[in-house]
């Protein structure tokens, strides 16, 4: 069996969701191909605990990629990932606690940014200024202003910037989008996007305390407001606090909104309204809403986003997905596959008429690993020095992130907000417009391009 087929099939068997489980270190090491040092691509990871390391694990499987540096504010994470890197490639990476020093390393050709969202903009802009290509996790930033700065920086410095919205590298998503573009669904008036997360339990309230030994907490906070250390705000759970992220709307939302808007050739809404709150776990420690519905009005259709924690029974019996609802049929796609549900008419004799034929769910190939494909696409674009090759470049990532941020802004204001695309601002709404902008603290400055 060819090496790449082996990797895809083995990793795909772990999940079969397009985001397969990480291969054992020994298996990754055994499948790495020896190549000339002149053909190697030096990669570094900034933020090594969660998706940063998951992304690196896929890049290890791409021919010629070597991890030359790691950066993290948590020494225990840094030590663990360094040991794993040495097992995989037989060579230790250089270790850093400050990303700015890492960017001075001439062996680093590209960086993976896996930090919390509030750090993405600063690091990405500094990286492209330093001549590095970038793979940045989604959402690309925590404010609309930062999204715009990142797009401008990528253009100015002409660097390849891939966004970790890996569903864009999924074969079955491409087929579903092609069907939407075919016109067979008829006039699409409504697109539903959702994420129901039954695995999410309450975040227990715990007291503030000292940061763990080996953690540079001031560096972790960076431009976020100064606050005492609390375990709930650290590592994975940062997602549920406004200082650092935007909750499920920006965490899951950008994945689904990205596919929806790409298929519908839409960029910005005319208006947004949102309603929800902490309705599942009102007394837990998180800040962002655990239940939310947001209605976006575009030129020829509406989009409905909804999320809920603690339950799995979402639309069409799926925990997550996108539904394109047309006059003739509805197309439903999620990480497991896609299907066509036709509209019907009944004649007087009982005959049922279909504008289009039903299509049972087309399951994803169990050997697929879309995240690996996303990594390969990034490396290919870097080697060609061609941002146009990317499946999800920084501008695409900005569209999804900005729309998700608009949903959160509508929620925070508690009213319908109206967008002026020409001015890039909300119409006659001072409060909503203030939420467009970033507010940096602790001596950190918003980057200028």
- The whole-number pLDDT of residue 8 equals 39
**Residue 309 structure tokens:** 């924690």
- The whole-number pLDDT of residue 344 equals 80
Ramachandran sector of residue 276 (left: φ over 0; alpha: ψ -120 to 50; beta: rest)? left
DSSP designation for 364: P
313-349 residue pLDDT tens:
999 999 999 999 999 999 999 999 999 999 887 666 6
- The whole-number pLDDT of residue 82 equals 98
**Residue 157 structure tokens:** 């410095």
- The whole-number pLDDT of residue 31 equals 61
**Look-up of token digits 């497991």:** 336
> Alpha-carbon distance 52 to 111, whole Å?
10
Q: How many helices (H) and strands (E) does the chain have?
A: 14, 18
Phi then psi dihedrals of residue 447, to 5 deg: -65, 150
Residue pair 97/61 in contact by the 8 Å Cβ criterion: no
Give every strand in the sheet of 337-342, ordered side by side: 359-363, 337-342, 329-334, 320-326, 188-197, 302-309, 291-297, 271-277, 417-420, 425-426
Output the CATH code of domain 171-362+398-434. Answer: 3.30.360.10
- The whole-number pLDDT of residue 30 equals 58
- The whole-number pLDDT of residue 26 equals 63
25 contacts: CB under 8 Å, gap ≥ 6: 84, 87, 88
Question: Residue 274: how many CA atoms within 13 Å on its side-chain side?
Answer: 27
Decide yes or no: CATH 3.40.50.720 for domain 3-168+371-393.
yes
- The whole-number pLDDT of residue 346 equals 67
- The whole-number pLDDT of residue 7 equals 39
**Look-up of token digits 């997550």:** 320
**Continuous segment of H or E residues that includes residue 38:** none
- The whole-number pLDDT of residue 355 equals 79
Torsion over CA: 416, 420, 425, 430 (sign): negative
What is the C-alpha end-to-end distance of the chain, expressed in Å? Answer: 49
Q: Where are the domains of the chain?
A: 3-168+371-393, 171-362+398-434
Regions of the chain where pLDDT drops below 50: 1-17
- The whole-number pLDDT of residue 330 equals 97
Ramachandran sector of residue 323 (left: φ over 0; alpha: ψ -120 to 50; beta: rest)? beta
> Alpha-carbon distance 383 to 362, whole Å?
34
The bridge status of strand 133-136 relative to strand 161-163 is parallel
DSSP designation for 300: S
Residue pair 401/254 in contact by the 8 Å Cβ criterion: yes
SS3 content of the chain, % helix, strand, coil (to 5): 40, 20, 40
């Amino acid at each position: 069996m060819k090496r790449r087929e082996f990797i895809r099939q083995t990793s795909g068997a772990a999940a079969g969701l397009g985001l397969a489980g990480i291969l054992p270190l020994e298996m990754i090491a055994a499948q790495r191909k020896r190549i000339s040092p002149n053909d190697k691509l030096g990669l570094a990871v900034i933020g090594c605990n969660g998706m940063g390391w998951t992304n690196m694990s896929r890049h290890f499987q791409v021919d010629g990629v070597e991890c030359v540096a790691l950066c993290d504010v948590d020494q225990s994470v840094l030590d663990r990932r360094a040991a794993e890197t040495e097992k995989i490639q037989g060579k230790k990476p250089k270790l850093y606690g400050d990303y700015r020093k890492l960017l001075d390393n001439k062996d680093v050709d590209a960086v993976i940014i896996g930090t919390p969202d509030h750090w993405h903009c600063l690091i990405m802009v500094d990286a492209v200024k330093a001549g590095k290509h970038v793979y940045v996790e989604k959402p690309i930033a925590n404010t609309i202003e930062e999204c715009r700065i990142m797009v401008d920086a990528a253009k100015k410095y002409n660097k390849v910037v891939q966004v970790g919205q890996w569903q864009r590298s999924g074969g079955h998503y491409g087929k579903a989008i092609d069907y939407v573009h075919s016109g067979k669904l008829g006039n699409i008036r409504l697109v539903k996007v959702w994420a129901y997360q039954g695995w999410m339990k309450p975040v227990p309230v715990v007291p503030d305390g000292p940061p763990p030994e080996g953690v540079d907490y001031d560096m972790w906070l960076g431009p976020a407001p100064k606050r005492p250390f609390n375990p709930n705000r650290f590592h994975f759970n940062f997602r549920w606090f406004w200082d650092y992220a935007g909750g499920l709307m920006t965490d899951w939302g950008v994945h689904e909104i990205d596919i929806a808007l790409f298929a519908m050739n839409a960029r910005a809404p005319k208006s947004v309204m949102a309603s929800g709150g902490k309705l599942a776990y009102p007394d837990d420690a998180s800040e962002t809403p655990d239940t939310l519905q947001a209605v976006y009005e575009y030129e020829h259709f509406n989009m409905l986003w909804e999320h809920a924690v603690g339950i799995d029974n979402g639309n069409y019996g799926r925990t997550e997905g996108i539904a394109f609802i047309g006059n003739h049929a509805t197309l439903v796609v999620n990480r497991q596959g896609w299907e066509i549900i036709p509209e019907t008419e009944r004649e007087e004799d009982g005959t049922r008429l279909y504008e289009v034929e039903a299509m049972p769910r087309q399951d994803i190939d169990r050997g697929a690993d879309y995240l690996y494909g996303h990594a390969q696409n990034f490396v290919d674009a870097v080697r060609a020095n061609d941002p146009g090759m990317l499946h999800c470049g920084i501008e695409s990532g900005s569209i999804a992130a900005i729309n998700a941020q608009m949903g959160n802004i509508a929620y925070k204001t508690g009213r319908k907000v109206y967008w002026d695309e020409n001015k890039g601002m909300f119409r006659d709404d001072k409060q909503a417009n203030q939420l467009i902008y970033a507010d940096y603290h602790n001596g950190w400055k918003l980057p200028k391009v």
